[in-house]
Amino acid sequence: MTAKIINGSEIARQIREELKQEIAELKAKHNLVPGLATVLVGEDPASQVYVGQKEKTCLALGIYSERHDLATQTTQSELLVLVDKLNKDPKIHGILVQLPLPKHINETEVLDAINPRKDVDGFHPVNLGKLMIGEPDYLPCTPHGIQQLLIRSGVKIEGAEVVVVGRSNIVGKPIANILLQKKEGANATVTICHTGTKELAAHTRRADILIVAAGRPKAVTADMVKEGVVVIDVGVNRIGKTAEGKDILVGDVDFDAVKEKAAAITPVPGGVGPMTIAMLMLNTVKAAKLAA
């Protein structure tokens, strides 16, 4: 068996096309243009690339975009003043503070300061609480993207044994909560594994759907999965450079070996990554609809 490749780039393109229609309707019916503000503190190269991709996607979709680049030495108080200003700006429906922030800034306090109605990353405690009880305004972007990859690839989630490797607040915990809700596109039995889990492979071999966000290159090997599993690889690890100087990227799953046993698998790159930005745009459009 060689796995079907779950093409995140193509599914993200489909979602962007759907959003173009919704944005056109908002403009026609309400004379309203969705607006997204991104805030970048410091000069982290990866963060600059991510923010640039978000700007480019906004432009392509017709979403109003503001980018606020702040120096590394920006104080927490200065950042909170900017967040407050964006909270009050009617042109801005979504606010995204790019993480990680410099060490002298408390990320939790900054994220808590964002108006929950403008929290299009879905990380505010209010929005995470609504997710827990199954009544979210916004779902965190990467976990929502994972769910959409499964749904749009025809993977049966209801009743499935889902194993999540990784318990971060950004991926592991939210995707577990999303997939265990008693709803369409969910209603699975979910196990979360982490660094304290004994016999990790005993859990991963049970999975019908395996979601890996461990942060370690090729941590899941072929002997750790069963035949016919669906694998979502969230990891992006730089392990070197090509002769041309480009980064060599691998996931948290040993792709070449595991694809010979899996029914379906996401590649790295081109799997989960494009979906994260697509779902950010979806949340921004939803925020504009709520404002309308």
Residue 149 and residue 113 share a domain: no
Catalytic residue among 4, 53, 73, 121: 121
How buried is residue 49: exposed, middle or buried, by Cβ count under 10 Å (0-12/13-18/19+)?
exposed
Predicted local confidence at residue 206, as pLDDT: 98
Q: Tens-of-pLDDT digits for all 292 residues of the chain?
A: 689 999 999 999 999 999 999 999 999 999 999 999 999 999 888 889 889 999 999 999 999 999 999 999 999 999 999 999 999 999 999 999 999 999 999 999 999 999 999 999 999 999 999 999 999 999 999 999 999 999 999 999 999 999 999 999 999 999 999 999 999 999 999 999 999 999 999 999 999 999 999 999 999 999 999 999 999 999 988 888 888 888 888 999 999 999 999 999 999 999 999 999 999 999 999 999 999 8
Does residue 112 lie in a domain region?
A: yes
Does residue 11 lie in a domain region?
A: no
Q: CA dihedral in degrees (164, 167, 173, 176; nearest 10)?
A: 10
Residue 266 and residue 145 share a domain: yes
* Distance between CA atoms of residues 188 and 185, nearest Å: 9
Predicted local confidence at residue 243, as pLDDT: 82
Predicted local confidence at residue 2, as pLDDT: 86
Catalytic residue among 48, 85, 88, 98: 98
Does residue 25 lie in a domain region?
A: no
Residue 189 and residue 220 share a domain: yes
What's the gap between Cα 178 and its chain centre? Answer: 13
Catalytic-residue membership of 247: no
Q: What is the number of structural domains in the chain?
A: 2
Catalytic-residue membership of 21: no
Q: What is the CATH number of the domain that holds 239?
A: 3.40.50.720
The rounded mean pLDDT for the chain is 96
Catalytic-residue membership of 98: yes
Torsions phi, psi for 96 (to 5 deg): -125, 115
Q: Which residue segment(s) compose the domain that 112 sits in?
A: 31-119
Residue 113 and residue 145 share a domain: no
Predicted local confidence at residue 239, as pLDDT: 81
Residue 109 and residue 172 share a domain: no
Type of residue numbered 232: I
Residue 107 and residue 64 share a domain: yes
Does residue 19 lie in a domain region?
A: no
Predicted local confidence at residue 143, as pLDDT: 98
Does residue 218 lie in a domain region?
A: yes
Predicted local confidence at residue 242, as pLDDT: 80
Predicted local confidence at residue 147, as pLDDT: 98
Does residue 282 lie in a domain region?
A: no
Q: What is the CATH number of the domain that holds 51?
A: 3.40.50.10860
Does residue 88 lie in a domain region?
A: yes
Q: Of 36, 72, 42, 82, whose CA–CA distance to 56 is shortest? A: 36
Place of tokens 């060599």: 248
Catalytic residue among 27, 44, 48, 54: 54
Where a domain ends, among 87, 119, 151?
A: 119
Predicted local confidence at residue 28, as pLDDT: 95
